[in-house]
A = this chain, B = another copy of it.
């Protein structure tokens, strides 16, 4: 069943210059050699001019049967396919890189997180040590009460350490000790 193909302007019949139908009425796909020849040109010039296309047809005996319009269409479709494929693979590679980057960042984050808590711990430990050690010193050495006072610019509470004031009785000794401390807030 079935024959009869729409022909635009075929002179007689045998010359097979039709759309995707052969003279026999069969849907035609380009042969591997034809595609190869077309691909070769496409590789170096994806958008050949009309002249270049005609030249291609002349140069390539495999393509001599093909309508110039078909060549044009082939390049159009080829560009379209290429565009889709390129976009897809581009997105995929970007995705992979982003995922890898993400993983690294999360690991680095973890590492930093641990480092922070470690440092916070050490910090707290040091403060406490300082605190308790000095308090112990004082109480053991003098038996005098110690009043903690807040420093300007420092939050009160257990996490901050203020200097302490000593009852009048031991001030003299403290003064002689001099030296003493200034605290810089280690701005970054």
A129: Cβ under 8 A from any B Cβ:
yes
Complex Cα–Cα for A173 and B159 (A): 29
Return chain B residues, CB-CB under 8 Å to A126. 123, 126-127, 130, 161, 183
Which residues in window 63-101 of A have CB below 8 A to B? 84, 87-88, 91-92, 94-95, 98-99, 101
Return chain B residues, CB-CB under 8 Å to A185. 123, 127, 159-161, 184, 186
Complex Cα–Cα for A91 and B95 (A): 8
Give the size of the chain A interface in residues (CB under 8 angstroms): 81
Return chain B residues, CB-CB under 8 Å to A177. 137, 140-141, 173-174, 176-179
In the complex, the chain B residue whose C-beta lies closest to that of A118 is: B188
Q: With A87-B88, A172-B141 in contact, is A122–B154 under 8 Å at CB?
A: yes
Return chain B residues, CB-CB under 8 Å to A4. 4-7
A15: Cβ under 8 A from any B Cβ:
no
A 160-176 to B, binary, CB cutoff 8 A, 1 in contact else 0 = 11111010001111111
A58: Cβ under 8 A from any B Cβ:
no
Interchain CB contact (< 8 A) of A180 among B105, B118, B163:
B163
Q: Smallest Cβ distance from A45 to chain B, in angstroms?
A: 27
Return chain B residues, CB-CB under 8 Å to A3. 6
What are 15 A-B residue pairs whose CB atoms fall within 8 Å in the complex? A6-B21, A94-B95, A105-B105, A125-B154, A130-B181, A136-B179, A137-B177, A154-B184, A161-B181, A161-B185, A162-B182, A164-B180, A166-B179, A179-B180, A183-B184
